Amino acid sequence: MKKRYENLDGISNIKSAADMLKWNKERRAKKKDLKSQIPLAEKIEIAALMENKTKNSITWIGHSTFLIQIGGLNIITDPVWAGRMGMQKRLTPPGIPIQELPEIDIVCISHGHYDHLHFPTIKKLQGNPVFYVPEGLGTLFKRKGFNNVAEAGWWQSFDHKGINFSFVPAQHWTRRSLRDTNTSHWGGWVIEDEQGGESVYFVGDTGYFRGFKDISEKFCPQYVLMPIGAYEPEWFMKVSHINPEDAIKAFLELKGKFFIPMHYGAYRLADDTGPEALERLNKEWGRRQLPGEQLKTLKIGETMWL
């Protein structure tokens, strides 16, 4: 028997056939504007990123994929350059063509869903990266021909050339085939520069849960890469996908310095759209009267120099 992983407090997100039928009926009744998309960066700093060895930076490729440069390392989170996801075409292009990335040192995987783990993309990455993956995914990576793999359980940490990588909880689930539901884990990654003092928290895919308070007790993340999309209909998605308002609540519990939204605008995984998610985020940020300089909404392909 394969090990099956669970969320904190045993919270389940298993849906019934009746739930799926109800959602499909609701979706057919909705009219959404799919012509309006989130913006692309006017300037893509490919040359600067290729040559960079000393500055820390965060570049949003799209969806949950970031190029993070910290402590001289090139790190990719959940690399997915796929033009389709299931029957759906990608709505916005990746911010940087994959062949124009620098050589990658580290790949951090949050979980095994196809919009976060895409092996055709991984095979195109330049360099000889180490893959940090959740427990249960190591065998799949090795079967695909990748041997430089380290599995992580929640709260487990790795040191790589002075950069610390810690796998932290999320509230989600995973499946890649009919029989492997939750046979690998899910979570986020806290990346800390032990010398420079900067830290990035890649939240991964999650619903709102008490784990954010636990994470804030152990880490002090400055830059929080937080999902805001794929939340509608909320009666169906809430356990697994955080909405924009709860994303802000989680950010405040984490005591982060900068909120960088992600997981919206690339694929239509639920009924909300990228512009809708961003509008709700901005509205709630204003309602709470939070400092505008703390919300760093990157355009696709945009780089934030830390």
Residues sharing a CB contact under 8 Å with residue 127, sequence separation 6 or more, in sequence order: 74, 102, 103, 104, 105
Residue with tokens 């940090």: 132
The CA-based angle 265-302-57, given to 5 degrees, is 120
Beta strands in the chain (DSSP E): 57-62, 65-70, 73-77, 84-85, 88-89, 106-108, 130-134, 149-152, 157-160, 163-168, 188-193, 199-202, 223-227, 258-262, 303-305
**What CA–CA distance (Å, rounded) separates 1 from 41?**
48
Check residue 289 and give left, alpha or beta (phi > 0: left; psi -120 to 50: alpha).
Answer: left
Q: The pTM is what? A: 0.96
End-to-end distance of the chain based on CA atoms, in angstroms? 46
Task: Give every residue of the chain whose pLDDT is below 50, as ranges.
Answer: none
CATH number of 40-305: 3.60.15.10
User: In this structure, is the dihedral angle defined by the CA atoms of residues 232, 234, 235 and 238, taken in order, positive or negative?
Assistant: positive
pLDDT at 16: 84
pLDDT at 87: 83
Distances (CA, A) of 264 to 92, 148, 154, 244: 10, 30, 25, 10
pLDDT at 178: 86
Among candidates 110, 95, 98, which has minimal Cα distance to 58?
Answer: 95
pLDDT at 2: 81
Check residue 136 and give left, alpha or beta (phi > 0: left; psi -120 to 50: alpha).
Answer: left
> In the beta sheet, which residues pair with residue 202?
189, 225
pLDDT at 15: 87
